[in-house]
Chains A and B, each alone.
Chain A
Amino acid sequence: MMRAMTLVVVACGLAALSLGLGVRDVPLATVVEAWTAYNPDNPDHIVVRDLRMARAVAALLGGAALGLAGALMQVMTRNPLADPGILGINSGAAFGVVMGIWVLGLSAAGALVLPALVGAGITAVLVLVLGGGAGRDGPDPVRMVLVGAALSALFLSLTWALLILSRQSLDIYRYWVLGGFGQVDPSNLWAVMPLLLAGFGAAFVAAFMLNPLALGDDTARALGVRVGLARFISLVGTVLLCGTTVSLAGPIAFIGLIVPHLVRPFARGDVRRLAFGSVVLGAALAMTADVLGRLILPGQEIEAGAIMALIGGPALIVLVQRQREALV
C-alpha cells in the first residue's frame, strides 16, 4: 500500500514537473501563473495549460492503460511474456489506423479510434483462439507468443504495403509509429476518454473476477468463477485499453511487458493488487519516458515510444537476470 501510494505521488509529481519541462523554456513562476492567472494570449500559458497538460494526462492515462492491459494479458494467458506489442495487438491497431487514414480518409484521432479498436479486437481474438485459448486447457504461452509474433509481422507487412502504395501517408506514419504523446490534442483526448474509461472499468472488473483463476481453471470453476465470462471481459478491456492508446499515441512497446513483472513481487499473488500497481507504475513509467524524451536532446524531442524501447530493452535484460526460473 505504501509503495503504491509512493508511486502515485511519484507519478503525479512527475506530471507536475513535466509541466515545467520541455523544448520551450518556461520559468516556474510562469507555470504557476498559467493556472492562477491564465492569459490566453500568452504563449507560455498556452504551452503549459493546453499542450503540456494534455500531454501529461495522455502519458499518465496511456501508460496506465498499457500497464493494466499487460498485467491482464499476463494473468489471463498465464504467460509472463504477454504484452500488447509482443502479442501483435499494437500492430493490429496500427494497421487499423492506417486503413482508416488510407481507405476511409479519416484524419482526426477521434475518428481513428474506431478502426484502431477493430484492428486490436481482431488481433486479440485471433491470438486467443489460435493460441489455443478456445481449448479446455486454456492458452499455451509459447504458442500464443508465436501466434502473436506471426500476426504482428503480418499486420506490419500489410501496413507497409498500404504505405508504399500511398506515399503521402508515409511521412505522417513514419513519426507516428515511433509512438509518443507529443502530438496529442486535448480534443483527441476528450474524444477517446469514454472508451478509455470503459476499458479501465472492464479491466478492473475482470481483475476482480480473475483472482481465483491463478489456482487453475478447474479450481476456479469449482469456486464459482465464471471463467469464460472473466476471459471475455478481460479481452474486451484489453482491446479497449490498447486500441484507444494506440490511436492516441501510436504503438508503444514494453510498458505492458515490464510493468507487471516489476509489480508482481509486491502483489503477492493478488490480481487486484497487480492491476492497481500496474496502473500506477505504468503511468509513472510513461510519464518518465515522455519527460526524458524532452530533455535528452536540446531543442528537439525524442518520442516516448523510442525512449521506452531504449529503456525497455535493457530493463528487460535486467529483469531476466533477476528471474531464477526459465520463463519459456
Chain B
Amino acid sequence: MSTLTLRNAAFSARVPRRLLVVNAVLLAVLFAVLATGLLGGTFPIGMLDLMAVLSGTADPVTQMVVVENRLPRLLTALGVGLAFGMAGEMLQTLLRNPLASPDVIGFSAGAGLGAVMTVALTGVSGLVLPGALAGGALTATLLLALVWNKGMSPGAIVLVGIGLTVTLGVVTDLMIVRLDANDVGELVKWIMGSLSARSWEDTVLVWAGLAVVAPLAAWHQFALARLTMADEVATSLGQSLVQGRLITIVFAVVLVGFGVAAAGPLPFVAFVAGPIAHGLSRAPRPTLLTAALVGALVTLLADRIAQALPGFFVLPAGIFTALIGAPVLIWVLIAQSRRRRR
C-alpha cells in the first residue's frame, strides 16, 4: 500500500495514498451535490439569483427559498450525515463488526424514543435535543450494563443491541399510537427521519455537536486504532481498554443524539458509511473522515432524490437513505467476498 509521508519539524504522518484520493474525490462529489442542491431545483434558482441573495437584493420568495429552505436543509443534511457516518465508523471499528452501528444496536432507536417521549409528555419541542441525547445515553448505558461482565464481546453487544432496537422501535410505535399523531409527517419524522422544512435551529444544533465532538473524535481515532488490536497488544501500548471503549461509545452516543434531534433517526446512514468507506479506501480502520464524508454523501443524495421527484409527489428523505444505502451495502458485500475468494 503506497503511502504519502507528510513531515515537518514537529509533526510527521503517513497517509495511504488511496485514502487521500478517495477523500478528495468524496469531497469533490460532495461539493458538486451541494451545488446542485443550491442551484436548479423545483423552484429554479440560478447563479444570478444567488448573487442577488448574497447582496440582499433578491425578492422575498427567492430569499426564502435559498436562505430559509435550501441552505438549512442542505447544511443539516450535511451535518447529520457527517455525524452519523462518524458515529457508525467509530462503533463498527470498536466492536470489530459492521453490524455494530448505532442504528442497528439501538442508539438511534433510543434517541428517537427519547425525543418522542419528551414531545409527548411535555408538548415542548425545544426539549427534543435533551430528550434524544438522554434516550441514546440511556440505551447505551443499558447495553453496556448488560454486557459488562462479559467483557464487552462484540457479538454480545450486537445481539443485545439488535434486541434493544426492535423493542425500542415497538415502544416508539406504541407511544406514537397513543399520541394520536394523526399526521403521517409527524410519524415519519420520528420513525424514518425527515429532512424537509429544516430550520436554522436544526442546522446550528447538529453543527454545534459536530464542532465539539469531531475534533475530539479525530484526536481519539489513534486510541481507537490501538483498540482494534488484540487486547494485550493495546494494553502494552499503554492504552486503557475500558477508558478507550467508554470514550468511543460516549462520542458515538452524542453524535447520534445530535443527529436524531436535528433530523430524526435517518435509517441506515451510520450503518453503511463505514463499510462503504472501507470498501472504497481499503485503509485500516478507523477511517473517520472518509466514513463521515460517505455518510454526508448518502444523506445529501437521498435528499436530492427526494427533491427530484415530480414536484407534487413528496416523500421524506429517510425513505431514500434506505433505498440508496441498502443496495450499495449489498454491492459492497458482494464485491468484498469476491475479492476474498480471489
Contact = CB atoms under 8 A, between A and B. Distances in A.
Interface of A: 81, 85-86, 130, 132, 135, 140, 142-143, 145-147, 149-151, 153-154, 156-158, 160-161, 163-165, 167, 170, 174-175, 177-178, 253-254, 302, 305-306, 309-310, 312-317, 319-321, 323, 326-328
Nearest to A323: B156
Interface string B147-169: 10010011110111011101111
Contact of B166 (A81, A142, A309, A320): A309
Contacts of B154: 326, 328
Given A312-B163, A313-B168, 18 more contacts: A81-B162, A140-B337, A142-B98, A146-B333, A147-B330, A154-B327, A157-B318, A157-B319, A157-B320, A160-B188, A178-B174, A253-B166, A310-B170, A314-B163, A316-B160, A320-B150, A326-B154, A328-B158
Interface in B292-342: 313, 315-316, 318-320, 322-323, 325-327, 329-330, 333-334, 337, 341
B99 A328 contact: yes
Contact of B184 (A153, A156, A167, A314): A167
A161 B319 contact: yes
B267 interface: yes
Interface string B88-119: 00000000011100001000000000000000
A68 B92 CA distance: 32
Given A143-B337, A146-B333, A170-B184, A326 B156 contact: yes
Contacts of A164: 184, 188, 315-316
Contacts of A145: 99
Contact of A130 (B155, B320, B330): B330
A305 B170 CA distance: 9
Given A142-B99, A151-B326, A317 B104 contact: no
A314 to B, nearest CB: 8
Contacts of A315: 163
Contacts of B52: none
B97 A142 contact: yes
Given A150-B325, A163-B184, A157 B267 contact: yes
B156 A177 contact: no
A312 B325 contact: no
Contacts of A306: 170, 173-174
A167 B158 CA distance: 36
B171 interface: yes
21 contacts: A86-B162, A142-B99, A143-B333, A145-B99, A150-B330, A164-B188, A165-B313, A175-B177, A178-B170, A254-B166, A306-B170, A309-B166, A309-B169, A309-B170, A312-B166, A312-B167, A317-B160, A320-B150, A320-B160, A326-B155, A327-B155
Contacts of B32: none
Interface string B182-208: 001001100110000000000000000
Contacts of A163: 184
B326 A153 contact: yes
B99 to A, nearest CB: 6
Contact of A149 (B97, B99, B315, B323): B99
* Interface residues of A, dominant DSSP: helix
* Interface residues of B, dominant DSSP: helix
B146 interface: yes
B166 A153 contact: no
A310 B172 CA distance: 11
A147 B325 contact: no
Contacts of A313: 163-164, 166-168
B322 A132 contact: no
B271 interface: yes
A146 to B, nearest CB: 6
* Chain B interface size range: 35 or more
A81 B167 CA distance: 16
B268 interface: yes
Given A130-B334, A310-B171, A81 B329 contact: no
A319 B313 CA distance: 46
Given A160-B192, A326-B155, A149 B271 contact: yes
A323 B157 CA distance: 12
B146 A146 contact: no
B192 A321 contact: no
B200 to A, nearest CB: 26
Contacts of A328: 97, 99, 154-155, 158-159
B314 to A, nearest CB: 8
Contacts of B146: 317, 320-321
A114 B171 CA distance: 30
B81 to A, nearest CB: 16
A312 B99 CA distance: 19
B339 to A, nearest CB: 13
Contacts of B326: 150-151, 153-154
A181 B167 CA distance: 19
**Which of A130, A167, A177 is packed against the most chain B CB atoms within 10 Å?**
A130
A314 B163 CA distance: 8
A313 B165 CA distance: 8
B184 A146 contact: no
Contact of A320 (B159, B313, B323): B159
A178 B177 CA distance: 10
B166 A85 contact: yes
A320 B145 CA distance: 13
Nearest to A175: B177
Contacts of B158: 328
B58 to A, nearest CB: 33
Nearest to A305: B170
Nearest to A308: B170
**Which of A142, A178, A313, A321 is packed against the most chain B CB atoms within 10 Å?**
A313
Contacts of A305: 170
Contacts of B164: 313
Contacts of B167: 309-310, 312-314
Contacts of B333: 130, 143, 146-147
